[in-house]
Amino acid sequence: MALRPKRRWNSVKALCFTEKSARCFCLFSKVKSDDDVTISSPVYLNVYDLTPINGYLYWAGLGIFHSGVEVHGVEYAFGAHDYSSSGVFEVEPRQCPGFQFRKSIFIGSTKLDATQVREFMERQAAYYNG
């Protein structure tokens, strides 16, 4: 069963089976439009040492760590506490109190703006009570 392409438009490619089959498939090539320009923002995972002994354990591939997600100049982290409020909190990037910053790892990007990210984190906070 061989495929033969039919040429009609540059953006649409029709593929039909050469056997007696009525099945055709259309493949649309990806074309960027001027309206499709969205700016993405980098997202980083900031890693912190929980204990000073991590300095020795890290080289053996071991350690106890805390982390936070940095996006739009704000770091969001999850932590445990005895209060009835959420365990989600914001800090200055790479400045989480009580922990020693270890490194920042690029984990991708987001097309959400700062307000949308904050709204997302507020929804997560409703389910996480530390």
pLDDT at residue number 12: 44
Q: Which amino acid is at 130?
A: G
Q: Which residues of the chain have pLDDT under 70?
A: 1-37, 81
Residues 42, 59: Cα–Cα separation, whole Å: 28
Q: What is the model's pTM?
A: 0.68
What pLDDT, on a 0 to 100 scale, did the predictor assign at position 46? 98
As a whole number of Å, the end-to-end CA separation of the chain is 59
Q: Which two tokens stand for residue 130?
A: 């530390």
> What is the model's pLDDT at position 80?
75
